[in-house]
Structure 1
Amino acid sequence: MNSLLRSLKILVLRVGASISERFLGGNRSKPDASKPIIVEWYLAHPGGRGQRLFIFLPGRRDRASDFVRHGFITMTQSRIQSLDCVAVDATIGYYLDASVATRLQAEIIEPARRLGYREIWLVGVSMGGLGALFHEREYPGEANGLILLAPFLGNDLKLFAEIDAAGGAIPWARGQPAAVAAPKKGDFQRELWRFLGRMQTDQQSQLQIWLAYGDADRLVPGIERLKAILPAERVLKLKGGHTWEVWTSGFEEILAKIDWPADTPI
């Protein structure tokens, strides 16, 4: 179990029902490690596969099917030629047992590469955005891009003040140890921001990160500190809160901004 995910589990157990119900609520059942993670595939061309794949990760109270219900699959495939989609039922249980990154890599991304996908993007809403970042931390370079829609990045205001006092996440991270072998209770957010502060300097040339969120989102304190270290042209701030309406609009705008080269089925 890696230290970042382990410390998330410690944090959730420590604060108990308060954060579990308010933020990490929904389906909290422990996943069965003996069974594959549930996924829903949507191929652009029946009988063939494209060269590009989008992997959708849901929020805390959402399921894979919600991406269909809110039009994400249709929107994506109508704009990007020969793009396949897979929506993943990565519920809170995969976060609590610290398996979300390894399950994504072993059960979806590695098989997708073997099938011939040359470009793989992770699209995460809320908790799913956190999952996309967890994967990038554990498997840097495996994803070609991240689209983060109102990602949960912590809520420790004292930590945010510390980051601000250092001049932002990048200079703050330079003054922190690279990793904590045995994180203490509550270290989840600090360890997350150590990674975020180093991520853009280490991987800026390889990884595209796009961010969209609402100006009234309750997660704004963390999101705007991530915004500060991303290229301004890859950040969208919309009117609204922590809702699918905002995420749908933001996702549509991001798709329109990216220059997608022509593609052919495999």
Structure 2
Amino acid sequence: MSQGVRAGQASAVLVLLPGAKMHPDDVIRAGWHDILREAGLDLDLHVPDLHLDPAGQVDALAHLANEHLASLRQRYARLWLGGISLGGLLALLQAQRDPAGLQGLCLFAPYPGSRLTTNAIERAGGLEAWVPDDAQRDDVEFQLWLNLREGRPSLPSFLGFGRDDRFAGTMRPLAQRLSRSTVHEVPGGHDWSAWDPLWLTCLAWLSEHGVGKR
């Protein structure tokens, strides 16, 4: 299931990937569609249900690319990609693999990987010193950090999270690796208390980055 706002009427679309155990209806209940409509931006919101879970990330990326992005690129002149939590991780991975046609990223508390991943990199002496083994190169969480070290993706990026988010300590260095990022920290944790106000800030950021009014 996917949900959109006046699908096909805008010239731009934001594909927003929900987090693990989240569905498009969660975004509707949070009022994000209504807020976008009130903002009057020339932007549709497409929220696909990728049935996200940590074990299904690779399949989710293939589904995203083949079942959603391919058709949306034909319907819209400009395509933005974003996500919440695990959806943010997938958005980053997709942008690293295939940035063609993407205007930029809108990331809400993007999941930076498990402690097993980030601790392994730290034990190796940090991201610059870390030499991934074959198993790590095949793991999507390690791929995220390897690609970040190589400067990918190089896209305008909005990245916001709550100061009390349990992943905040790792999201900060992640944000530093995005060379064209705008970072916002707000009160709140890894939940809607932070994401709701960040949505308003993100819409303003999109307006500053070329998304006009209807």
Q: Deviations over 1:149-193 (max 9, x none)?
A: 111112245335358x55xx5xx18x746xx7x525995433321
Residue 49 (1) aligns with residue 9 (2): yes
Residue 253 of structure 1: which of 179, 201, 204 is its match? Answer: 201
* 1:202-221 paired onto structure 2 within 5 Å: 203-204=153-154, 207-221=155-169
Rounded to whole Å, the distance in 2 between the matches of 1:233 and 1:184 is 26
Pick the structure with greater CA Rg.
Answer: 1
The residue that corresponds to 1:262 in the other structure is 212
Partner of 1:191: 143
Choose which of 168, 173, 185 in structure 2 pairs with 1:237: 185
1:224-243 alpha-carbon deviations (Å, 9 max, x no partner): 11122235870001111111
Give the paired residue count.
Answer: 210
Q: Deviations over 1:176-212 (max 9, x none)?
A: 46xx7x5259954333210122234xx53xx211110
Are the structure 2 counterparts of residues 60 and 97 from structure 1 closer, same or farther at C-alpha, using a change threshold of 3 Å? Answer: closer
Stretches of 4+ moved more than 6 A in 1?
none
CA RMSD, Structure 1 to Structure 2 (Å)? 2.8
Name the SS for the 2:161 alignment partner: strand
Whether contact under 8 Å (2:156, 2:180) holds in the other structure is no
Q: Shift of the alpha carbon at 1:137? A: 2.5
Which has a greater percent of strand? 2
What do the CA deviations read for 1:11-35 (whole angstroms, capped 9, x no partner)? xxxxxxxxxxxxxxxxxxxxxxxxx
Select the residue among 64, 72, 85 that pairs with 2:24: 64
Given the two structures, how large is their TM-score scaled by the length of structure 2?
0.84
Gaps of 5+ in 1: 1-37
Following the alignment from structure 1 to structure 2, what is the Cα–Cα distance between the partners of residues 186 and 138?
A: 14
Unaligned runs of 5+ in 2: none
Cα distance change of structure 1 residues 64 and 162 upon mapping to structure 2, 3 Å threshold: same
Once residues 249 and 118 of structure 1 are traced to their aligned partners in structure 2, the CA distance between those partners, rounded to angstroms, is 28
Q: What SS is found at the alignment partner of 2:67?
A: helix
| Shift of residue 244, structure 1, vs aligned partner | 0.8
TM-score (norm: length of structure 1): 0.69
